Chain A
């Protein structure tokens, strides 16, 4: 039987090509993901392991738990501790590490890197073993800095150049004293690193005389564990904790693996979708091959092959196809993995160098996925093949397409669909996170239900297209009838496209609605013309607020200052604002009382009020980090949003209690409103600081829109794979249809339908099937988008459903394009059929 199966594969090369391609694409996606994530995490792990080479034991401050209304501050690592560490037996040397944020501007004053990986630190002594100098010398004093070689190269800086830096407020212009190389993972990933001498770093990062970490190197012959014990004894374990370098490296490796696994799983989901869609094509192809080979298989049965042997022969065929698809998919996947890495490099997120990692696991997975998927999809057709009676060999009739009733299928489909819709609808009435699981379940049920029902749905939906098709005369009429001739096959083909479009539409609806609501939230609640913030989301120095206030154009400003406090024994963040200006800068709806912030008067949002049981006039006491406390009274209750929420208190009341005050944002109102000139003026007032963003409301909206567009484009890119597989499916189905109907096509040609008419007939059939899948997918997608929005709406007051009509139109066009594209080759083939052989062939 094996030989027969193999011969069949070879005999139907062209027919199986689409199947191989479909499986191959899915496998390529899977193995590409594996190769890419393995390569990246290996590279990151290598680079981070190198970073821990010089650390045998790290000493860090132990964070202390708060108790009652007292805030226990994290202890500091003092100079004394560093000195003691260096003297521990077995310690070769101890380095005090200071780290913080430093943005470096390029020669045009623009921030280098994304802001989130802009780091600063201290250079230890004259020769820091962590940072070998490439040129120049160690930084000394407040006016010198050393920068990493990658950044220097990117911006074209040399030793002796003046460079614009900013830490959290004022712009500094030190001279570059040296350029160093580093294994730092953030720098490897596209960030920057600026180093000052230790005293300067401590001052700049607001930690005079203290360190963030003490790295101790062991003397030769001393183990990391022994050194750790020595340090524990010398420093005590109450205020600090010690960790061996090995553990740090392991932890980081684990962390990298964990963060990669998210990406990996995400990509694998999309690969799974592509493979799932692919199974329809495989099933279609094998059903067709079996039907075509009825006589042959019956003959095998007649000469004594058992049912099992017939099934097996089909499965062996599938196996061979699966191996070929898996193998080619693997090769393509390795290419994809390498390509993705290169792509990531060009997009700015540079990856540490390293070899392409192809593990035996990747190879095994690729082959297994290819083989298992193909054989699974071929299993039903294989069973059907076994049911062919031996007499079929004698009869001259072509095996007709299954005319098995669809009653059972439709009943089952209706049950699934009904249950799916019910569960999804029920989930929309639930609260946010509670509804997620039922919604997911409902969505899966509904998709399965609709998938089972597609043969039934095909008739009315395609009939609805009849008036349009009538324009195309006889070709249109024949196309419509042909497309419903084999509802199962049409359904399987359309479903493949449906799934991709359901996801694409659902995502688009959700993203569009979310974007709108976030935009609304951000802009409707703010009266300020500008929002000033740090590029990396860090806190701004209070200096920024003061400078802005002093700028000519500015009429009002208010910081949004983060104040940690404890109220009634639990932690609570207050927002310190400018009490006299905040009402002019925001537009918050007040439900109760008055919007008065000043002295001991505060306003509280609904959620906070509810959780504490506060009403207008309620009083409470806030305890601060300096151990002092103030009594506060609720003046009013307002509706909070994503930007402004919680307890708003006058910053003058709370700032005296803060060690190191910092602002998340500063709201600014100007005399003439937002304009390019005003923005320039504000930026100049802040010393054209590369790390500080001055954004108008429009900028905020644009930022939000940009973020969503980027996310959507990425999703579209991933889902494109499913659509490509769907195209292969349509090509496959059409090729089968043309083959099956060659006799009819021959007759039509004989009685006078020209080649154009034949081509048009095939194309229209393709268009009808594709649009059918497109309409189903877009419909389902909108429904899911709406349902998911209902769920989100419980968490977001401003949520509103936005139907992206233009986008949906584009998706429908996309479906149509799929149809036209897929029909190119089959239509050509149909038009080129030899009339005479076609008429005679049976």
Chain B
């Protein structure tokens, strides 16, 4: 973990949340999911968001990714402020600037692996960049499986298709929601490896929500969330360090 930073890493922000709040309900039944969270996701950095259940980590990701609305504060993807966007513009933003990887793969069963990979471009009506597509496919090792349908692929292979789908349209930022949650440890390690490589070798920006310290250890930086607030962050994490932090945090949570 001593590699020198890629050019521009420290200076450019891919996504930024400022004083972001998300409140459900009103009055007595009011639940604060996010409480004035401010966080930067820098370009070509692999960030993991961690926290116990109900800490707001998924909500944070959803708001930053333009999947969910927020109550106050601001979210920027690149230069675009999300708060002022209508549904149509948000959709276009997600389509052109953002890639997604979900826990349940979420592939279309009627499409082949290749068609699933190029789906975002098909939606946009764009032709995929052939060379780039090949690079991505080679990286995730799906060359022989492109004609298969999701039902003919293993869980690990399906998630690799999902990773390729997220990378193929060269988005500014990729969001992963527990991308290894449904995978065995070997397949999970593979997928995380691809994500890390895409950051290291291709300069991709990746933000991933996880509750698994092993997964978090693949990231360059871990952001810890509790009760809708950022409580800490850690650079160049190891799984032990993350696990220790979580334990300690957990204990603190219980005593307080």
- Give the B-binding residues of A (Cβ under 8 A): 473-474, 477-478, 481-482, 485, 743-744, 746-755, 757, 835-836, 839, 842
Contact = CB atoms under 8 A, between A and B. Distances in A.
Nearest to B119: A751
Contacts of A752: 91-92, 94-96, 98, 120, 123-124
A477 B96 contact: no
B91 A839 contact: no
A839 B110 contact: no
A835 to B, nearest CB: 6
B91 A755 contact: yes
Q: Which of B98, B104, B165 has the most CB of A within 10 A?
A: B104
Given A743-B106, A749-B91, A752-B95, A757 B67 contact: no
Interface string B108-127: 11110000000110111100
A751 B123 contact: yes
Interface of B: 62, 67-68, 87-88, 91-92, 94-96, 98-100, 102, 104, 106, 108-111, 119-120, 122-125, 165
B104 A481 contact: no
Contact of A835 (B67, B108, B122, B123): B67
Contacts of B123: 473-474, 748, 751-753, 757
Given A744-B106, A755-B88, 11 more contacts: A747-B100, A750-B100, A750-B102, A751-B123, A751-B165, A752-B96, A752-B123, A752-B124, A753-B95, A754-B87, A754-B91
A481 B68 CA distance: 29
Contacts of B68: 836
Contacts of A842: 104
B58 to A, nearest CB: 9
17 contacts: A474-B119, A474-B122, A477-B122, A478-B110, A481-B111, A747-B102, A748-B123, A751-B94, A751-B123, A752-B98, A753-B95, A754-B88, A755-B87, A836-B67, A836-B68, A839-B104, A842-B104
Contacts of A478: 108, 110
A753 B62 CA distance: 17
B27 to A, nearest CB: 23
Contact of B120 (A477, A751, A755, A757): A751
A750 B119 contact: no
Contacts of B104: 743, 839, 842
Dominant secondary structure at the A interface: helix
B92 A482 contact: no
A842 B88 CA distance: 26
A749 B123 CA distance: 10
A478 B111 CA distance: 8
Contact of B110 (A481, A750, A753, A835): A481
A842 B120 CA distance: 23
Contacts of A477: 122
Contacts of A749: 91
Contacts of A482: 110
Contacts of B94: 750-752
B104 to A, nearest CB: 7
Contacts of A755: 87-88, 91
Given A473-B122, A473-B125, A750 B67 contact: yes
Nearest to B166: A751
B128 to A, nearest CB: 13
A485 B110 contact: yes
A750 B98 CA distance: 9
Nearest to A485: B110
A368 B122 CA distance: 53
Contacts of A748: 108, 123
Nearest to A757: B123
A836 B62 contact: yes
A747 B106 contact: yes
Nearest to A747: B106
B173 to A, nearest CB: 13
Please provide the 7 A-B residue pairs with the shortest distance between their CB atoms, ordered closest to farther: A752-B95, A481-B110, A747-B106, A754-B91, A474-B122, A752-B94, A753-B123
Q: Which of B68, B99, B108 has the most CB of A within 10 A?
A: B108
A753 B123 CA distance: 6
Nearest to B68: A836
B121 to A, nearest CB: 9
Contacts of A473: 122-123, 125
A750 B109 CA distance: 17
A369 B231 CA distance: 67
A403 to B, nearest CB: 10
Contact of A839 (B102, B108, B119, B120): B102
Q: Which of B91, B98, B165 has the most CB of A within 10 A?
A: B91
A755 B91 CA distance: 9
Nearest to B93: A752
A680 to B, nearest CB: 69
A477 B109 CA distance: 13
Contacts of A744: 106, 108-109
Contacts of B92: 752, 754
A635 B216 CA distance: 111
Contacts of B88: 754-755
A748 B165 CA distance: 12
A752 B67 CA distance: 10
Contacts of B125: 473-474
B102 to A, nearest CB: 6
A658 B182 CA distance: 101
Contacts of B95: 751-753
B178 to A, nearest CB: 10
A38 to B, nearest CB: 53
Contacts of B62: 836
Nearest to A751: B120
A427 B206 CA distance: 72
A744 B125 CA distance: 19
Nearest to B162: A747
A727 to B, nearest CB: 26
Q: Which of A473, A751, A836, A842 has the most CB of B within 10 A?
A: A751
A747 B92 CA distance: 14
A485 B109 CA distance: 9
Contacts of A751: 94-95, 99-100, 119-120, 123, 165
A608 B132 CA distance: 88
A156 B123 CA distance: 73
Contacts of B165: 751
Contacts of A747: 100, 102, 106, 108
Contacts of B98: 752
Nearest to B97: A752
A306 B165 CA distance: 46
Nearest to B91: A754
Q: Which of A743, A751, A752, A836 has the most CB of B within 10 A?
A: A752
B106 A839 contact: yes
Contacts of A753: 91, 95, 123
A744 B109 CA distance: 9
Q: Which of B96, B102, B123 has the most CB of A within 10 A?
A: B123
Contacts of A836: 62, 67-68
A751 B98 CA distance: 8
A744 B106 CA distance: 7
A543 B99 CA distance: 95
Contacts of B124: 752
A808 B228 CA distance: 63
B87 to A, nearest CB: 7
A837 to B, nearest CB: 11
Contacts of B99: 751
A750 B97 CA distance: 12
A530 B165 CA distance: 79
A473 B118 CA distance: 13
Nearest to A400: B151
A641 B91 CA distance: 72
Contacts of B67: 750, 835-836
Q: Which of B96, B109, B165 has the most CB of A within 10 A?
A: B109
A747 B161 CA distance: 14
A743 B108 CA distance: 10
A797 B237 CA distance: 94
